[in-house]
Structures are given as C-alpha cells and as structure tokens.
Amino acid sequence: MGKVSIKNVSQYFINREGNKTQALADINLEIKDKEFICVIGPSGCGKTTLLRTIAGLENPSSGELALDSEKITGPDPRRGMVFQEYSLFPWRTVIRNITFGPEMQGMNKEKAQEIAEEYLELVGLEHFKNSYPYELSGGMRQRVAIARALANDPEVLLMDEPFGSLDAQTRNVLQSELLDIWYRKQITIIFVTHSVDEAVFLADKIVILTARPGRVKDIIDVNLPRPRNRTGPDTNQLRDRVLKILAEERVKK
C-alpha cells in the first residue's frame, strides 16, 4: 500500500453546453512515502485535474484515492498544493501569506510567526518578510508559495508546474532548492511539469500520461544518482526515451 493510492480514477466534466469531456481515464498509481514523482503528458491531458483530485479539490467521477489508506474526500493540510503562479494574497505581506495557513488551523499568532520565519529562512527570504508579493521577482514569489505550503506541515506536496513561468536560470536554481527541501523535510512530492528536462532532473519516477483522456501510458524509474547532472550520456538517453514516448501521443492526435 502506497502513501498515496489512486485506484481506477476517471474524471468527467460537463460544460455549460452540456457536453461531456473526459479528463482522466482509469488512473491507477501507487506512490510511495518520500517519493518524488513527476507527472508529464501532452497539454490538456488531465495533469492539473489529477493533481486537483489528489488535493481533494475535485471528486473523481469514479474510482477512489487514499492517503495512508484513508479515503480522500476533500482538501486537507496534509496534502499541500503549490500552483503555477498568482497564488499569493497580494494584500498580505510575505510573512502574513505564510502565517495564513497555520492561523486557519487554529495556531496562535506568535507560534505561526515563528514557523513562518523558519520556512522563510529555508527558502532564503528572511529579509523579505515584510515585503508585498508585487515587490518580489517571479522566483521569489514561488519560494514564498513553497514556504507557505510547507508551513502547514504537509506529508504530500502537490506542485502544478510551479516553475513553468520562470526563466531557465531561475528555474534551475529553484529545482535544486526544491530537491534540498525534499531531502530535508522527507516529504512525498507529486510534481506536474511539461518539461522533460525538469522531470529527468527531479524525479524518482516519471509518470507519462496519454493525450486526453489521460491514462497512465508509462512509468519510468529514474535511476540516475543524485545530485544529478543536467547533461551526460545517461541523462541524455533517458531524456530521449521520454521524448519518444511523448511524441507517440502527439502523432495520435
């Protein structure tokens, strides 16, 4: 039994015209504790839907999901989420963005402040605690979003293309920082990306989805030693393999 268990999950949406869209078809996944999973697949194949369903923000049309064998029925602080962008409260300072979650969970202000400062330090932003999100670069905003999710002490971190809008250099830096956090906090991470390079650099396992409706097409074990190189024969070979599998899905469309 995995940390996160996804059994026969399908997801349909009905739009305003009454048309039915199937986003996910019969997804089965067992994700182990402390694993770093990257989910990759063609645009619109249901990656975000899968993450939102694990977060408990969507109910599956059929099938079941569980965390530690306990059925997922809605959002829970044990499953934290980091979105692509614009997820911070613009009217709150950096530190008050982070204290929000713990305070919502009933923690007193002093304790929440202490925890927020600890996580700000972890992401290297302790000197920006009184800044507002608009005063920060994209990379810094995503660091705050990560600190905010971690402040709720999640066991599973769900990340939806969190570095997708960053420039390549910042993105590389944040990937390394995230690996460091993952290692230190010993959490499970499920990370959606459409970058093969990113998946190969980060993941223990890469879950490749088919074009919509998303089904699990392949699960690739990434056995490259850590810390990883971004280039080199083994990395390049794996990247080629994933790209070839993804290309099959483009041909189908």
Question: Residues interacting with ligand ADP, by CB under 6 A?
Answer: 13, 15, 21, 23, 41, 43-49, 212
What distance in Å separates the CA atoms of residue 55 and residue 198, rounded to the nearest whole number?
Answer: 22
- To ligand ADP, the closest distance from the beta carbon of 179 in angstroms equals 23
- To ligand ADP, the closest distance from the beta carbon of 178 in angstroms equals 20
Maximal C-alpha separation, the chain: 56
- To ligand ADP, the closest distance from the beta carbon of 17 in angstroms equals 11
Closer of 49 and 188 to ligand ADP (Cβ):
49
Closer of 84 and 93 to ligand ADP (Cβ):
84
Encoding tokens for residue 206? Answer: 């890469």
Closer of 44 and 77 to ligand ADP (Cβ):
44
**Alpha carbon distances (Å) from 236 to 132, 165, 167, 231, 241:** 41, 24, 22, 6, 9
- To ligand ADP, the closest distance from the beta carbon of 47 in angstroms equals 3
Closer of 147 and 216 to ligand ADP (Cβ):
216
β-partners of residue 67 are: 4, 70
β-partners of residue 188 are: 156
What distance in Å separates the CA atoms of residue 53 and residue 74, rounded to the nearest whole number?
Answer: 9
Tracing tokens 């099959």 back to the chain, one arrives at 248
Closer of 58 and 126 to ligand ADP (Cβ):
58
Q: How many CA atoms lie within 13 A of 249 on its CB side?
A: 21
